Chains A and B, each alone.
Chain A
């Protein structure tokens, strides 16, 4: 049971890190639907670098660098060029899906190094994730820069008039989002399941994106959502813990994705939106042209 709890927190941590970066980016008004691609790229680069050098920190550093680079690319297209953010995000996803399949395949297989030590038996990335959630909440709701981020996401014209550099803030948030998504991918390939496989992330990036909508852009609700989803994911891998012998294991694998759809529906209903939905950043997905 303890084993299951630890494994599910490891899953939660990966979803949480990626989703938290996306949450900050969306708070600044930029939508990145290519989260899945950033996770694939971060995870693949981290795996290759670590396997080549035998050095975990180097692997994580490589992932962070590639995440920042891809975040910049998304920022350039969606902030500087004011392009369609969905086009850019989808582009990043397919680009990463294709390139990582080619780049990673010579390294396919297990990493072949020991597991990363976890303090007090707790999954390290979950601890990091919780700390970052607290930091993100504090930043967004208790500090001046956080107010600036939120105002840029709500009403960039008013923020600009108040002297806030809209483009710079958005860039910072998008790059931070890219870095966190790539870190999440690295946590997958270096810690959760250190075996490189083509398209190893299998939809978790899109689940993280769904978690951001579910969280109503609040880091604490995001933490709760990611924790629940992590548990659900691990249970779908070993259903015999709950309901032994019922249904094929393949049917259980559909469950986490099948549950996500009705949740998305509920949070999209007018009832839910009027009750809770005020949190959605007003300018989300809209390019800002300086007046």
Chain B
């Protein structure tokens, strides 16, 4: 059962469903999707009168060879990894968490609320380690709460989670604006539409120049893969994702599963917010362009999709995407490209992912037509 054959002269082209894709094919399609997106991006460079070779050289050399660029790539990829997990966990249960930006904002706001409430300049300052721990906990809890709204509504009333998370994105976007702009409670002393800067003792500790969140992100990847491969809970989530009806028959509680994956996913997005606004050297505040970081969260969505739900598999992908998104911004300035190469790449990756998804599920068969080919049984395009 495939789609209708496409006839070209005496040959015909059919897509036939694969039963089980061969081993290694998943990796191959992931690599193919990324390479194809990069190849398509060269059309964009050409249309902007830039040589693709020069553009890729600028992107890759800044992102992965320049010391400043490389450090920024590492910081960005930690952020993208947390976003990846935030999307990946609900996806394993068949649910779409497109609330990454909103949950990131919630995490960032909660992290900054803690020092606002607790921090005093010395003497009489609380132990910084305690405040930092509270900031992390608050960020995770706020992200989980934002995700949990979608989870509980899905669990209790079957409300579409795509709509709820998207509404929450818009709501939280304006909540951040309220908090950091025009005299909001978090507004910085310079009043330039951004939050106050985190006091030096409360900045996330660096290990070998990298915030400790790097270790958390990598550890979480291993734990997540272990959860889905070995643990009963992970099995229940996957079973629910494959077939909610069958899982329910097998004793999986659908409401509890929906809620749980959104709480866990939201917590990861909250941590992404903590990392991005409170742990990256040189930032330590919620900047006026926080919306850009929210948008970048969608790179987490695409890396989870391309990694096909494997958290460890997403690590190199997120690292690459972190570098690409940064390098694209750099190349934009260096080569005077139009704004938004990083956004275009996001769109192209989504397109090639869908293409690779088709190639994963179908085999393209090219064969010579039999002398008297019977009429196609399965309908193709109307009028074809």
Q: Which residues of A contact B (CB under 8 A)?
A: 33, 76-77, 80-81, 83, 86-88, 90-91, 94-99, 101-103, 105-106, 108, 165-168, 171-172, 198-199, 202-203, 206, 209-210, 213, 248, 250-251, 253-254, 257-258, 260-261, 264-265, 268-269, 289-290
Asked if B371 is at the interface of the complex by the 8 Å CB criterion, the answer is no
Q: Majority SS of interface residues in chain B?
A: helix
Q: Which residues of B contact A (CB under 8 A)?
A: 1, 3-4, 15, 44, 96, 98, 149, 153, 157-160, 162-164, 166-171, 174-175, 177-178, 181-182, 184, 295, 298, 301-302, 338-341, 343-348, 350-351, 353-354, 357-358, 361-362, 377-383
Partner of A206, one of B166, B358, B383: B166
Q: How far is the CB of A85 from chain B (nearest CB, A)?
A: 12
Q: Smallest CB-CB separation from A204: which chain B residue?
A: B170
**In the complex, chain A residues whose CB is within 8 Å of the CB of B341:** 102
**In the complex, chain B residues whose CB is within 8 Å of the CB of A108:** 339
Q: How far is the CB of B250 from chain A (nearest CB, A)?
A: 22
Report the bound CA distance from A33 to B351 in whole Å. 16
**In the complex, chain A residues whose CB is within 8 Å of the CB of B346:** 94, 97-98
Q: List 17 A-B contacts (CB under 8 A).
A: A86-B96, A88-B354, A91-B353, A94-B350, A95-B347, A97-B347, A98-B344, A102-B44, A102-B338, A102-B339, A103-B344, A203-B170, A250-B175, A254-B174, A254-B175, A264-B160, A289-B1
- Most chain B CB inside 10 Å of its own CB: which residue of A94, A98, A102, A248: A102
Contact B343 A101 (CB under 8 A): yes
Given A102-B347, A268-B153, 14 additional A-B pairs, CB 8 A: A91-B351, A94-B298, A98-B343, A98-B344, A105-B339, A167-B382, A171-B382, A213-B163, A250-B177, A250-B178, A257-B170, A261-B149, A261-B168, A265-B153
Q: How far is the CB of A276 from chain B (nearest CB, A)?
A: 15
**In the complex, chain B residues whose CB is within 8 Å of the CB of A265:** 153, 157, 159
Partner of A77, one of B164, B174, B358, B377: B358
Contact A264 B164 (CB under 8 A): yes
Q: Smallest CB-CB separation from B378: which chain A residue?
A: A290
